[in-house]
Structure 1
Amino acid sequence: MAAIDVPRDPTEEEALALFEVIEEKFPSTTIGDDKWYVLTFAAMVAGGGHEFAPLLYKELIKRPEYKTSEQRQALMRRIRETLLKLVSVAGVCKPLDAIFDIDAITAPEDKDYSFSREGWQCDEENRKRGFAWQDRLYRHNQGAIDNALSSQKDFDWISKNISYGLYLSDHTILNDVETELTVLGGIMIQNLPRETGWHLRGTRRIGVSKEDVETIQQCIELIGKFCGLKLHKVPRVADIEHEV
């Protein structure tokens, strides 16, 4: 029997080096300096590096902007929302595993017991909210997706009511750009060409520059390399720019 080639797992030192490179490379001057870690959590967890999520959390809370429990709780809400939104594009298990590991090393006084979706209803208002966000991203392209799903109504329902209604149209904790960073990172890291193209285009449509989107893609590719993944099927922003 041929030996099974078991890949080497990344080390904590390599993860720390990755975080430093991503923060330095990320276009913070134009997008915001509190967003690089949103992309990093999303792509790293969806890419199978979820065991390093608590390490990133521990590094973040060392910073002066998180010196109080209230500031660390606000950070936790942003991390949790990133991972919650990630469920809609990458499934529940990896984000849930990351949340368990982060919670295990969170100081009791830093735990946040708020519930962002309390009172949520799968009603017409939810559907309208989801559609409004879809419309900003897809515009005239939505019709072709709706046509394709007209014979797959379960997927149409879950896309409009759950993926967009429940998860992605809620911008109370993460704003529109942060939401797209989460979605683009979580999808591209899976080497999915169709949906990556949609969200490269969507990120451009909500106002992120072509140059910044290209840099974001390069950051995701660095995370993919760290996770041992090939991202050879996905398009680049230059490939979809004519659709924007």
Structure 2
Amino acid sequence: MASSTQSPEGATKEQWAELCQSVKGALLEELGPESWYLVIATVLTVSPNPQTVADFWTYLTTSEQEFSTLEAQTRLSERLRDLLIKQLTLIGAPQVLGALIPLAKKQLTEQGKTGEEERGELDLEQWSKTDFTHLHARGIEGITSIYGTLWPKIFSSFGPYRQEMGIHELSIVYGLYLSDFSILSSLETETIVYTSIQCQGHRGPSLWHVRGMGRVLGARGSDDENEKIRRIKDVLRGLKVAIMTTVEFCGPEMVQRSRLDGGSDGLQGWPNVGDVKRELGGWGDD
């Protein structure tokens, strides 16, 4: 496991390398060859020092061979952009901008640009064919892949806020953001969702997204002893270790914020994969 730091600010090349190697070693192949840097970037963005995403970019583009070319760096930038856009719905705009602006400044400096060349926020042509009904349908498909047939039951807990919150959840949160797989895949997206929520210390939602991760990987039913489910549980345990490793790298404030330490009463710790069956009845049969 990577050594803990007081803060990732000022981390050495060797410390970044150790973190990356530890995270890569924890993640099983089912999560894909690029999940490691998505996990690290997600945790850094949620952390008290989101600006260190820019330092992570510098490490990746100067020390990891796979990001040594301009083409690879352009693709990496696109994927980090999609990660940050998706996090708008998960951690809020101020926290996201705390990562995005230093990252953008770093990239612009490297390119000798000022940012004025990148205008486009007033160009609505790319949205001209966006249809709200399509977003709503895509959102239902996306949320069903995560929660299965239980999402209407969850929506019932919204009470008098159900109609408005439900429309936003289906059409905007999922339809516009979390069900757009044009850059990041459905599995990569759910990895970011689970990591973002877990790192904020929200045990209940985190457990639902442990279940969601398992479902995206193909888990169904409540028999945790069949070979396929056992393997998926191992994948999820590895992901949890990777997130924990990065949280610890971010220092004691992040450990406390994420409740990796169990929270003030010691009872708010992170859910285990076995809790899916114990508390939620399994992975769903749909």
* 1:216 Cα deviation from its structure 2 partner: 0.6
Question: Identity of counterpart residues, as a percentage?
Answer: 21
Secondary structure at the aligned position of 1:190 is classed as coil
Residues 67/44 of structure 1: CA separation in 2 closer, same or farther (3 Å cut) = closer
Contact 1:66/1:72 (8 A) holds in 2 = yes
Amino acid at match of 2:146: L
Tell whether 2:111 aligns with 1:108.
yes
Tell whether 2:63 aligns with 1:38.
no
Q: Following superposition of structure 1 onto structure 2, how do residues 47-196 of structure 1 map, counting pairs within 5 Å?
A: 47-62=47-62, 63-106=64-107, 107-108=110-111, 118-119=126-127, 121=130, 123-153=132-162, 154-196=164-206
The one of 7, 10, 18 equivalent to 1:9 is 7
TM-score by length of 1: 0.87
Contact 2:51/2:103 (8 A) holds in 1 = no
Deviation by residue 1:38-88 (Cα, 9 ceiling, x = unmatched): 111112211323122112111222333333322211110001111111111
RMSD over aligned Cα, in angstroms?
2.5
Unaligned runs of 5+ in 1: 1-6
CA distance in 1, matches of 2:148, 2:30: 25
Residues 177/136 of structure 1: CA separation in 2 closer, same or farther (3 Å cut) = same
* 1:243 Cα deviation from its structure 2 partner: 1.6
TM-score by length of 2: 0.75
Larger Rg: 2
Unaligned runs of 5+ in 2: 219-231, 263-267
Residues 109/34 of structure 1: CA separation in 2 closer, same or farther (3 Å cut) = farther
Secondary structure at the aligned position of 1:50 is classed as coil
The one of 198, 211, 215 equivalent to 2:238 is 215
Give the aligned partner of residue 226 of structure 1.
Answer: 249
Amino acid at match of 2:271: P
- Worse-matched range after superposition: 164-173 or 205-214: 205-214
Secondary structure at the aligned position of 1:174 is classed as coil
Count of residues in Structure 1 that have an aligned counterpart in Structure 2: 236
Residues 109/122 of structure 1: CA separation in 2 closer, same or farther (3 Å cut) = farther
CA distance in 2, matches of 1:75, 1:8: 28
* 1:224 Cα deviation from its structure 2 partner: 2.2
CA distance in 2, matches of 1:96, 1:26: 28
Give the aligned partner of residue 3 of structure 1.
Answer: none
CA distance in 1, matches of 2:112, 2:217: 38
Superposed structure 1 runs of 4+ greater than 4 Å apart: 109-115
